[in-house]
Amino acid sequence: MKLYLDTLRKKPKVYNLAVLTAAVLVLLVMLFAFGGEATVRFSCLLLALYFLAAAALLLRAFFLQMRYNLYSYNTIIYFGFALFLLSVSLTYALAYFQTDGLSQEEILRNVIGWLLGSAKTYVFFTAPFLLVFSVGLAISNVSLIRHEGFRTVNLLGIILAFLLVGGELLIFLRDYMVSGSRTEVMLHDMLTNLLAAVYLYFECMLLGTIVAGIIASRVEPEKDKDFIIILGCGIRRDGTPSPLLRGRVDRALAFAEQQEALTGKQPIFVTSGGQGPDEPISESASMKRYLLEKGIPAERILEEDRSTDTFENMKFSKEKIWAVNPQGKIAFSTTNYHVFRGGLKARRVKMRALGMGARTRWYFWPNAAVREFVGLLTEHRLKQGLIFGSMVISYVVLTLLAYQN
């Protein structure tokens, strides 16, 4: 299926989800206020359909968001939480058959209880996937250390793998280790559910990031570009590009050759990267030398040698491009795991540009992807706070409702 990326001019909204939620809440109140046992039983089916519809709306927003802006934090949120809502929908669909013969009060308690346990259910449901993912992550990290040497940053994958498996075990053990008074049990359950909610949040974000990152890394921009920004990274002591950086330049060269063969259009290369404290020359100068050796004339190379991170790569490259052609069509080249975050930075400086990803060794990609995930979590703190805060409040309220007399 072809994805028509970056073609939608109006940002997709999810206000319809709020309207749907309000309508379902009104129907639920009416069911439990005026319906009998037979009618109230259908609340499970209603909730199953509601969560299924909510998941469908989020998935639709996910695909529309890619057409509007592939590199958006919203794509992570929409996809990650759509999977969670699908699992809740399945829970209520199965629960419908367990309510036959129950009283209205018992059905109400079960409806609240199943929603309260939704985070734990999802965590346990995805446990096999997370176990396989964690083992693969740890194996790739061991290979990375063997090939690249021991560094603290090279342990990120192993650390995340232990956190994922340890979190699953902690939630599972806490769910069964409980005794004491009703209040003590309630507080225990509240803490367990909050822990599951925290785990759920980060799991949804992780899954959303993986999917968004894979899609972004496999995108091939249209062959109509006026400029190709090459994002810098470390260079060797002799001033030549590192294998990682050389891969980014070669990816840009391959794209430019294909474009010229198809359309005759020759893009300008923007080499973007400043000079680090341990680098003999700037990353931009190193890339320019490499391009010249490959036969690219100097007039087709723009040097941007002030940037120190991805945001500055995009900001200062945009200034260089705007000085030449403000209407020029732009692509950028980086390593596959970095495409999504690079695109986020491009949009942050209000530059429309699709990225292309250079391949890297199999053992390097997972650890680098974890670094990208951690980097993403440090951004958009307000949006994350609102979502996470809403989840915490919801599970606290549901716990209190479940234990009321």
Local confidence band at 102 (pLDDT 50, 70, 90 cut-offs): confident
Candidates 242, 245, 243; CA nearest to 232 is 245
The one-letter amino acid at 59: L
What local confidence, expressed as pLDDT, does residue 3 receive? 60
What local confidence, expressed as pLDDT, does residue 234 receive? 85
Query: Which of residues 375 and 244 earns the better pLDDT score?
Result: 244
Local confidence band at 317 (pLDDT 50, 70, 90 cut-offs): very high
180, 188 Cβ separation under 8 angstroms: yes
Phi, psi angle pair for 257, to nearest 5°: -65, -40
**H-assigned helices in 117-242:** 118-125, 127-148, 156-174, 182-217
The Cα–Cα gap between 241 and 347 comes to: 27
Query: Which of residues 1 and 161 earns the better pLDDT score?
Result: 161
272, 231 Cβ separation under 8 angstroms: yes
Phi and psi based region of residue 236 (left: phi greater than 0; alpha: psi -120 to 50; beta: remaining): beta
Q: How far is CA 320 from CA 125, 249, 302, 306, 324, in A?
A: 50, 18, 7, 11, 7
What local confidence, expressed as pLDDT, does residue 1 receive? 45
What local confidence, expressed as pLDDT, does residue 268 receive? 97
Q: What is the pLDDT of residues 46-95, one digit of tens each?
A: 899 999 999 999 999 998 998 888 898 889 999 999 999 999 999 888 88
Local confidence band at 161 (pLDDT 50, 70, 90 cut-offs): confident
Judged by DSSP in three states, 162 sits in: helix
Q: Which of 2-11, 48-57, 82-91, 367-376 has the lowest mean pLDDT?
A: 2-11
Residue 120 above 80 pLDDT? yes
DSSP type of residue 362: T
What local confidence, expressed as pLDDT, does residue 177 receive? 63
230, 252 Cβ separation under 8 angstroms: yes
Residue 24 above 60 pLDDT? yes
Local confidence band at 286 (pLDDT 50, 70, 90 cut-offs): very high
Query: If you average pLDDT over residues 287-301, what whole number do you get?
Result: 96
Query: Which of residues 359 and 185 earns the better pLDDT score?
Result: 359
Distance between alpha carbon 180 and the CA centroid of its chain, in Å?
41
Candidates 257, 220, 217, 275; CA nearest to 71 is 217
Q: What is the largest CA-CA distance in the chain?
A: 81
The dihedral built from the CA positions of residue 257, 259, 265 and 269, taken in this order, carries a sign that is: negative
Residue 138 above 90 pLDDT? no
Residue 170 above 60 pLDDT? yes
Query: Which of residues 265 and 169 earns the better pLDDT score?
Result: 265
Judged by DSSP in three states, 330 sits in: strand
114, 92 Cβ separation under 8 angstroms: yes
* Highest-pLDDT range among 17-21, 37-41, 209-213, 284-288: 284-288
